[in-house]
Structure 1
Amino acid sequence: MNELNIREADRLEITVLMDNYTDIFLIESTDVCRRPQIPFFPQMLFAEHGFSCLIKVWAGNEEHTVLMDAAVTPACLFNNAELLKADLGKIEAVALSHGHPDHFLGLAELLKFVSKEQNKEVPLILHPDAFLERRFNIPVIGHPVLLPTLDESALKEARADLVNSEKAFPTANGFIHTTGEIERKIPFEKGFPWAESKVDGNWITDPFRDDQGLVIKVKGKGLVVISGCAHAGIINTVEHAKKITGTDKVHAVLGGFHLTGRLFDPIIQPTIDEMKRIDPDYIVPMHCTGWKAINRFAEEMPAQFMLNTVGTTYVFGGNL
């Protein structure tokens, strides 16, 4: 596998537009973790079981803005962006982590807005498998539950320029890359057996070939890896990012780690042990990581852990 020609960013900012958790009283900020300063009622940041973040990079005179995922409810996504004064009109491209509705249901409205602001199509980078039919087959429910499917025609109508790529793909002029399909090497990261997809007419345990993250290299700091749900495994994701960039130093790992629920309880500790081995400077578990796993990360990696809330901006790299 050839290493990516990844450009180093002087500075990186990641603003969480949507996540599962909000807290109006968590307002203390640091140089790295900036909490939203929004007046109380009736202005409120909304949380939902979804994920979306706005990513900005700077290098020299260059500035680029990319969106990863688009939450569930467009009204919530736009509400949060407005309160945070996040300029969605500057989005150059959108990267989709995978084809589950808590990451794509806000896409069409978001793309319509951005394409109208810019009067052009908006690149949407995704794996071809993001369009698969999917369902949950959870034993306690007793029957399969179909999930909304990503609608290619609706995306094109919203002026998406579809960039289907199984491999790592650059955006933001080479400062941000998708990971592409993630190599699976960690024995305990076996995916999500209750998730199924329809392949060649048959329902099978979802292989989540479309699951991908984003990777950015910050000058003098190392890699920042962002996952959507990490169905491929968060350790697999980080190790894959290291491999394709030829960089061992990991500065920060953010996003959903998919460790919620009894099915994943047994792998919480192995995941934490492996994350300690990787030893990032910062760890920010979000979305589908789950209450138990988030608390365990806080207990076992206290110097590196940051509790995420909707609207928080993470700043990595030097001052502008």
Structure 2
Amino acid sequence: MKLVVLNDNVPAKGLMNEWGWSVLVEGKKRFLFDADTNPLVLAHNSKALGVSLRDLDFAFLSHWHYDHYGGLPYIAELNPGLRLYAPPGNRAMALRWGFDIVEVFKAGEIADGIWTSGPLDDFEQALGMETSSGLVVIVGCSHPGVDRLTKALLNVSGYENAHLVIGGFHGPSRRTLDRLAEMADFIAPAHCSGDFAKAYVRKTYPEKFISVKTGSIIEL
């Protein structure tokens, strides 16, 4: 399985970049987690990184903030009728774009070995997927708390701990990061995590820290 970071707040040479988050997952299923803000970023970076955004199995939206859903119309154009798993709130808009939208109301398995945490606080969901290394958790902005989202995925998947947690942590506290470290082998703060979170994990849990930026490719 491979995670391709199509956009993160941190730039990379030769790639477009802005405030946003989007990850292409290539494994037993090919799917997009979140869709950044700008379709041009997704189009340019996918071409530069040598990956296709066509023929996806589904798309997954963590929450309805523009820096996560702005590129979805472009994804729908490339994949007519694509299934989109999203929290409730904008069904009509997703249908106009051309998605087969599935509104997620609770935790559960959405494909073989792939789970949603369900929308915590009726707002944001995260995704967990089974790999040969263990459970990989992808989060968007973690407004409800990256520790809470990870715990919800551990509960629904039956795993005791996560191999990797990657995504935006929304400026978490030390206590939140400490709780996350108890549940995860590796931690990759990105997007809205903030400099403090990255520095804290790097210093306190150096064996767990993974640096992420636009164009990062993580193979599992």
- Range into which the TM-score falls when normalised by the shorter chain: over 0.9
Specify the code of the residue in structure 2 equivalent to 1:179. Answer: S
Aligned to 1:15: 4
Aligned 1:223-242 pairs, distance under 5 A: 223-242=135-154
User: How far is 1:154 from its partner?
Assistant: 4.4
Determine whether 1:101 maps to 2:40.
no
User: How far is 1:212 from its partner?
Assistant: 0.6
1:71 to 36, 39, 44: 36
Flag the structure with larger Rg. Answer: 1
Aligned to 2:101: 162
**SS at the partner of 1:253?**
strand
Q: Which 5+ residue runs of structure 2 have no aligned equivalent?
A: none
**SS at the partner of 2:29?**
strand
**TM-score, with structure 2 as normaliser:** 0.94
**Contact 2:108–2:156 (CA under 8 A) maintained in structure 1:** no
User: How far is 1:47 from its partner?
Assistant: 1.6
**SS at the partner of 2:47?**
helix
**Contact 1:95–1:178 (CA under 8 A) maintained in structure 2:** no
**Contact 2:85–2:101 (CA under 8 A) maintained in structure 1:** yes
Q: Whole-Å Cα distance in 2 between the matches of residues 289 and 162 of structure 1?
A: 29
Q: Whole-Å Cα distance in 2 between the matches of residues 18 and 168 of structure 1?
A: 27
Q: Which 5+ residue runs of structure 1 have no aligned equivalent?
A: 1-11, 25-43, 58-62, 116-120, 132-151, 183-207, 260-266
Q: Whole-Å Cα distance in 2 between the matches of residues 246 and 170 of structure 1?
A: 11
User: How far is 1:247 from its partner?
Assistant: 1.1
Q: CA 1:181–1:157 in 2, change beyond 3 Å: closer, same or farther?
A: closer
Q: Whole-Å Cα distance in 1 between the matches of residues 136 and 128 of structure 2?
A: 6
**SS at the partner of 2:68?**
helix
User: How far is 1:127 from its partner?
Assistant: 1.4
Q: Whole-Å Cα distance in 1 between the matches of residues 26 and 135 of structure 2?
A: 15
1:114 to 67, 79, 88: 79
**Contact 2:115–2:156 (CA under 8 A) maintained in structure 1:** no
How many residues were matched structurally?
Answer: 220
Aligned 1:257-296 pairs, distance under 5 A: 257-259=169-171, 268-278=173-183, 280-296=184-200
Cα deviations across residues 93-139 of structure 1 (Å, max 9, x unaligned)? 11110011110111112211222xxxxx110111113x3xxxxxxxx
**Contact 1:283–1:306 (CA under 8 A) maintained in structure 2:** yes
Q: Whole-Å Cα distance in 1 between the matches of residues 166 and 116 of structure 2?
A: 14
**SS at the partner of 2:40?**
helix
Q: Whole-Å Cα distance in 2 between the matches of residues 109 and 168 of structure 1?
A: 28
Q: Whole-Å Cα distance in 1 between the matches of residues 207 and 104 of structure 2?
A: 37
User: How far is 1:153 from its partner?
Assistant: 4.3
Q: Whole-Å Cα distance in 2 between the matches of residues 73 and 156 of structure 1?
A: 19
